A and B are shown apart, each in its own frame.
Chain A
Amino acid sequence: MTLTWAWLILFLATYPWLIAADLLSSSLSSWNLVFYISGLVIVAPCRRLRRWQAILFSAFIGFTFEALRPIPHGSLAFCLIFLAIILSSFPELLRDKARLRQGAILVNAISCFIWYLAMSISMREEIPFQFSSFLYNLTLQLLLSATLTLLLFNTISVYQNRVMDKLRIP
């Protein structure tokens, strides 16, 4: 029973981190950057959760990020689900700590890129596409998300692992 709902409990346990990131975005709103960590929080759970649980967990993380933002609905959630499938199917990708960290950076950056791209497509009516400014903004956003991963991944994964230990997830 506990195991079936483990992903949800894990999601609820992870949620404060997400809202903390939002809070950080809010207090540094003049930066015009989103403090995006939704990608990195799925890495540690995907290693241990069963695939379907990982999928549900990532979907919830994705939809939560999208809920209060004008992102094309589903774009981030499906991207995270796809990444979760990959991560949970090939655990050897996340063999050691270094790889885990690299994976987290990659996952966070890829998912960040996806919602950014989806936004640029859905907003093309309002904002005429300019490659240079798009690239500049995207680079900064990706750099920030990568930095956040470097800074926070260890703490979050330790925290998540402890929660999973508590839930007795193998």
Chain B
Amino acid sequence: MDNNRQGAKASIIALIVFIGLWITLPSTIRRLNKEAFSEFQAPAIQLLSKSRDLARYWELRSRSTEDLIAAGRDLARINATLELKLHAMEDIRKENLRLREMLRYPNSTEYLTVVARVATRDTSTWWQRMLIRKGRNDGIRPGCPVVFGNRVVGRVTTVHLNISEVELVTSPAFRCTAFLEGDDPPRIVHVSGVASNPFTTGRAKVSIIQADYTPPAGQVAKVITTGLGGVFPTGLILGTLEGGVTQTAQGNLKEAYMVPSKNLDTIEEVSVLVPKYPTAGEILMSPTDRIKLEEFK
């Protein structure tokens, strides 16, 4: 017993020394450690998510043929309309391109779309995130916006080989700029997630709203991405203002809460928008691209 106790003392001293070492250790080693544990878990998470998909598949298999025929017919109709719209869009795209050339207007970021299934969700007071089943192998890079249709889900924070971590719009670490519907001329507002209490839907805070802004009467104002930051494309819906706009304590600006446009607790599939060329922020974050900063100078 005594032996044990002495051993405990030694172990605790060793632990303290090790913690000290851990803090002074180069961050690469800590990152490596974290990465190793992430990669260790990735297959299990993949497997889990895939088995859920399989369950869903079998559930669908059990549907009657009539149901499927009806669903197929509906889809065909939607497809036809979309096809038409697509043609119109192509014309608009060309015209837009021409006008941009004429005005020498900076081109907006071009994106590649990667569709990914949601593996697990992980929410707490401190974070609101999800794991998606695509990773570095699929070309996803940290910082990429994650959307569902024309609605913003969040932003990729960390990328592993086959899974990625996505910070949701309601997460306190999420930052974005936006325009408010009904603000003319549009002025930039700041959107960031807030710490959420248990059993409530996650919300984000919209701040730096100019004092003379009033939401359009009779409807909930949408919060729309600016497309100016070089990360999110323009015109995506971040969410809607909830419960009106209130004056800050200082009295010269307003703020409001925003609920995400898509119920982030039930979403099953998302698209990751990967910019064709790395953004400046990305270059700044990745140590290998330091040379570019030198070039820029």
Contact = CB atoms under 8 A, between A and B. Distances in A.
A140 B198 contact: yes
Interface residues of B, number: 47
Interface residues of A, number: 44
Interface stretch (A38-46, A83-91, A156-164): A83-91
B8 A89 contact: yes
A48 interface: no
A32 B202 contact: yes
Tell me the interface secondary structure of chain B in the complex.
mixed
Interface stretch (B38-46, B95-103, B106-114, B212-220): B38-46
Contact of B201 (A30, A86, A89): A30
B173 interface: yes
A6 to B, nearest CB: 18
A75 to B, nearest CB: 10
A26 B124 CA distance: 11
Contacts of B197: 32, 133, 136-137
A19 B126 contact: no
A25 B125 CA distance: 13
B297 to A, nearest CB: 29
A45 B173 CA distance: 36
A120 B127 CA distance: 11
Contacts of B12: 82, 85
B172 A126 contact: yes
Given A86-B8, A133-B195, 6 more contacts: A30-B201, A31-B123, A82-B12, A91-B4, A123-B172, A141-B124
12 contacts: A19-B48, A22-B122, A31-B123, A33-B198, A67-B34, A69-B122, A73-B34, A82-B15, A116-B125, A127-B126, A127-B172, A137-B197
Q: Which 9 A-B pairs have the closest CB atoms?
A: A89-B8, A67-B37, A29-B121, A26-B120, A119-B126, A126-B172, A67-B38, A137-B125, A26-B121
